[in-house]
Chains A and B, each alone.
Chain A
Amino acid sequence: MAFYSGSLSSCASLATLLTTQCVANGWALSGNWLSKGSSYIEVTSDTYNVALKGALDSTGSTSPTSQNRTICLLAGDWPVSYYLFINSSPDTVVLVVQYGTLFIQHLMFGDIVKIHPLAFTGGNFLSGSSSSSTAGSEGQNPIPGQTIPRIYGNVLRSIDDNTILTTNNDPFDIDVPQSIPFVPGFPFIGNYNTSCAIFHAEIDGDLWSYTTNITYTAVTNSTYFRCPNLTNAQTTLVPLNLQRSSSSGLYMYLGYVEHVRLVRVDNYNIGDILTLSPDQWMIFPWRCKNIAFRNGDSTSYWSTITLTQTNTGTLGFAVRYTP
C-alpha cells in the first residue's frame, strides 16, 4: 500500500503522477494503458480533464468503454492538492483532488471483492466525479445550457418512486449523477441517467454498466443514511456492497469495494484520519460538505450555482491509508 500527497498545477501533471506512481507500485504501462490483475485503464488528459477509460486488454483494443469518467478542473481551480492511494489485494487506486479549499473530486479504479471468484465474469470498475463523452471535451455538462461542469442540487431520491428522501432504505439516486459512484442519476433530466462509476459484469448479456443497474445494497444504504450515531457521535465505515438489478426485479449481490468506505462526514473535515487499529482511513466529502443540507441541497438544479447547490451534504467516503 502506498500514499502520495502534494500540489500540482495541470491536468497533465495529475495524469503523469497517476501513471508514474501506479507503475512504481506494480502496474504495467503500455502507451496510456495501465494494467494489473483484471483492470485495464487508460489515463489521458487535456486542458480541463484527467480522464479514465476501461477495456479488457492492455492495449485497449478489446471491449473499451464507450464513456470516460473524469476529474474536471477549470483555470481558476489551480493549483490543487492531491491525495493518491494505491492499495492491493485487491488492487484499488484512488486519486483525490482538493481545490477551492472546500471542493473534492476523485478518480478511482480497481477490482471489487466478488462473492465468489466464479460468481460472474468481471468485477473491475472505474469511477470519476465527472463524466465526459470524450477526453477532449470540457466534461459532460450536467445541465443543458450551462457551461460549468459542476454538479447541481444533489437531491437524493428514492429509486422506486422518485420521492425526495430524508432517511433512506433502498437504492437512491441523485438529480445529477456525479460525484458519488454507484448512485444512478435521476432520469428526470433526460440523458443524464448515468452513474459516475462504470462496472464490468458479464451477466445477462451486459458487459459494461454505465447506468442504474449497479447500486448499493439496502444494508449499505440504510446504514449510510442512519449515521452518525446520536448515542456516541461516531459514524460507521460502511462497505460499498454492490448489487445488480435483473429483469425479474430481483437484485444480485456481487461483492464489495475493499479499500473504500462510505462515511457521513458530519463530524469530519477533508483529510481527517480515522484509526481503527491496525487500519487508518482518510476521510473526504464526495464533492463539498454542507452540514445545513445533510443529504444534499433540494434547491432547484436550474438555479444559479451557489455553494449549497454544489454540495454533497455530509455524504463522504474514506480510503484505507498507509502513511
Chain B
Amino acid sequence: MAYITGTVTGSGINDAASGHKMLLAAFNTFVTTGLGSGQNWTIKRNAVATVVSTGTNIEYIWQAPGLSGAEQIFMGLKAYQDPTADYYNLEIGVFTGYVSGNSFENQAGSSPIVGATLWNQSIQYWFVADGQRGIIVAKFSDIYEMIYIGKYLPYATPSQYPYPVYAFGSLANIGLLTRYSADLWWSSSNTYLGISASTYNGSNYPTPYGYMILSGFKGTSISSFLRDPAGLWLMPDIYPYAGITQIRNTASLSSSSVGYYSLHSIVISDKSPNVYGEFSGLYYITGFNNAVENTIVISGITYICFRDRRLTGFNDFIALRLS
C-alpha cells in the first residue's frame, strides 16, 4: 500500500483550480503513478464536460489491477459543483465494467452513486491506495471527509466471492446537491426512515424529512454500499459503529496513568446472517480522550485518527493505516 499527504491550493472560485477538482487531479496522479510497479491504476476515462449554469465537471474512471496484477476493478470519481449554491462535491462510484459510451452514472454494474462534500478552497488530504482500493481523507474548514472505493477484505475465498467491492462517502445519491456545512439533507419522502434517518427537533420527523449526513464508514446508510456475492448492492451494518457499546481507554480510576488505546477490527455484516469482511486499512478507535489527527504506532506502522466529518463522540473516530 502506498500513502501520501499534502495540500491542494484551491482557487476559491469555480474554475479548473477549484479545490475539489485539484483534489481529484492529485488523487489521479497518485493512483496512476504512485503505487509502484504492477499496482498503478489505468485511466479508462478522463473527461471534461461543461454543464450550463454550473460550470465544468471533471470525471475519472479507473481500472485497478488488484494485488495480483491480473484483476479488473473499476471505480470512479466525478467533480461537480453549483457556484450559485456554493457546493463543490465529488460523486463516487464502483462498477463491474467500463462502457465508453455510457455516462459516469450509468456504467456497467454501477454501485448507487454516492457523494462527498468538499469546497473550492484549499484542502489538506491523506491518500492511501494499492492495486485494489483507494481511500481519501479530505480536511477543510472543520470537516474530515472520507471516501473508500474498491475492494474490501472478504471472509470468503475468491471462488466464493470474486468481486467484493465497496463504495462509501457521506452523501446519499438523493442528497448530492448538498453544501459541506449541512448536517442534514432533506427529502419530501420518508422512504429512508429507519435507514439513517434522524429525528429532528424532537420526537417527530419534520416535513421535509431530515437525514443525518454521516460518514459511510459507520454503515447502515445510503451513502455506504457493498456489492454482495449475488451482485446486489447492500447497505450493511458495520460494527462496532452499529452497536451501542461505548469504548474508553484502560486508564484506571485510581491511577494517574493516561491509559492505553488499541485498534479494533471493523466488521461488515447484514442484520441477519451474513458476515462479509473488513475494510482494508481502516480500524475502529475510540474518541475517548482522543483528538483528530492523533497517531498511534503499532509494530512500526503508523495509524492516524480521523473522525466522522465534524463529530467528536466516542464512536465517531476511525484509524487509517498509513502504509
Partner-B contacts on A (CB < 8 A):
115-116, 118-120, 160, 167, 169-171, 202-205, 217-219, 222-223, 226-232, 234, 236, 241, 243, 246-255
List, in ascending order, chain B residues with CB within 8 A of A160's CB: 244
Residue of A115, A160, A241 contacting most chain B CB atoms (<10 Å): A115
A236 touches B275 (CB 8 A): yes
A232 touches B239 (CB 8 A): no
Question: Chain A: which residue is nearest B249 at the CB level?
Answer: A252
A251 touches B245 (CB 8 A): yes
How far is it, in angstroms, between the C-alpha of A234 and the C-alpha of B274 when the chains are bound?
Answer: 9
Dominant SS among interface residues on chain B: loop
B70 on interface, CB distance cutoff 8 Å: no
How far is it, in angstroms, between the C-alpha of A167 and the C-alpha of B267 when the chains are bound?
Answer: 16
Residues facing A in B259-275 (CB within 8 A) are: 259-262, 264-267, 269-275
List, in ascending order, chain B residues with CB within 8 A of A116's CB: 260, 262
Contact of A226 among B161, B246, B248, B275 (CB under 8 A): B275
Known contacts: A230-B273, A231-B161. The answer to whether A205 contacts B254 by CB under 8 A is yes
- List 23 A-B residue pairs with CB atoms under 8 Å apart, sorted by A's residue number: A115-B261, A116-B260, A119-B262, A169-B243, A169-B244, A204-B252, A205-B254, A217-B240, A217-B247, A219-B264, A219-B284, A223-B269, A226-B273, A230-B273, A231-B228, A234-B160, A243-B245, A246-B248, A250-B248, A251-B245, A251-B248, A252-B250, A255-B262
List, in ascending order, chain A residues with CB within 8 A of B156's CB: 229, 231-232, 234
Known contacts: A223-B239, A249-B246. The answer to whether A120 contacts B314 by CB under 8 A is no
A250 touches B250 (CB 8 A): no
List, in ascending order, chain B residues with CB within 8 A of A120's CB: 250, 252, 260
Residues facing A in B224-242 (CB within 8 A) are: 228-230, 237, 239-240, 242
A243 touches B247 (CB 8 A): yes
List, in ascending order, chain A residues with CB within 8 A of B253's CB: 204-205, 246-247
Other contacts beyond A170-B245, A218-B242, A226-B272: 15, CB < 8 A: A115-B260, A116-B260, A118-B260, A119-B262, A170-B244, A205-B254, A218-B239, A218-B243, A226-B271, A230-B272, A231-B160, A231-B228, A243-B247, A246-B253, A253-B262
How far is it, in angstroms, between the C-alpha of A226 and the C-alpha of B277 when the chains are bound?
Answer: 12
Question: Chain A: which residue is nearest B288 at the CB level?
Answer: A250
How far is it, in angstroms, between the C-alpha of A119 and the C-alpha of B254 when the chains are bound?
Answer: 14
How far is it, in angstroms, between the C-alpha of A127 and the C-alpha of B266 when the chains are bound?
Answer: 28
A219 touches B229 (CB 8 A): no
- Chain B proximity of A229: nearest CB distance (Å): 5
A204 touches B254 (CB 8 A): yes
B126 on interface, CB distance cutoff 8 Å: no
List, in ascending order, chain A residues with CB within 8 A of B160's CB: 231-232, 234
Contact of A203 among B155, B240, B250 (CB under 8 A): B250
How far is it, in angstroms, between the C-alpha of A39 and the C-alpha of B229 when the chains are bound?
Answer: 45
Contact of B245 among A118, A217, A228, A248 (CB under 8 A): A217
How far is it, in angstroms, between the C-alpha of A316 and the C-alpha of B253 when the chains are bound?
Answer: 35
Known contacts: A120-B252, A253-B247. The answer to whether A232 contacts B262 by CB under 8 A is no
List, in ascending order, chain B residues with CB within 8 A of A232's CB: 156, 160-161, 229
Dominant SS among interface residues on chain A: loop
- Chain B proximity of A236: nearest CB distance (Å): 5
List, in ascending order, chain A residues with CB within 8 A of B252's CB: 120, 202-204
- Chain B proximity of A166: nearest CB distance (Å): 9
List, in ascending order, chain A residues with CB within 8 A of B239's CB: 169, 218-219, 222-223
List, in ascending order, chain B residues with CB within 8 A of A223's CB: 239, 267, 269, 275
List, in ascending order, chain A residues with CB within 8 A of B270's CB: 226
Contact of B274 among A203, A230, A248 (CB under 8 A): A230
- Chain A proximity of B289: nearest CB distance (Å): 11
How far is it, in angstroms, between the C-alpha of A202 and the C-alpha of B255 when the chains are bound?
Answer: 11
List, in ascending order, chain B residues with CB within 8 A of A249's CB: 246
How far is it, in angstroms, between the C-alpha of A255 and the C-alpha of B254 when the chains are bound?
Answer: 21
How far is it, in angstroms, between the C-alpha of A170 and the C-alpha of B288 when the chains are bound?
Answer: 19
List, in ascending order, chain B residues with CB within 8 A of A250's CB: 246-248, 288, 314
List, in ascending order, chain A residues with CB within 8 A of B161's CB: 231-232
A167 touches B245 (CB 8 A): no
Question: Chain A: which residue is nearest B160 at the CB level?
Answer: A232
A119 touches B250 (CB 8 A): yes
List, in ascending order, chain A residues with CB within 8 A of B266's CB: 219
List, in ascending order, chain A residues with CB within 8 A of B275's CB: 223, 226-227, 229, 236
How far is it, in angstroms, between the C-alpha of A251 and the C-alpha of B262 when the chains are bound?
Answer: 12
How far is it, in angstroms, between the C-alpha of A124 and the C-alpha of B115 when the chains are bound?
Answer: 47
- Chain A proximity of B57: nearest CB distance (Å): 37
List, in ascending order, chain A residues with CB within 8 A of B246's CB: 249-251
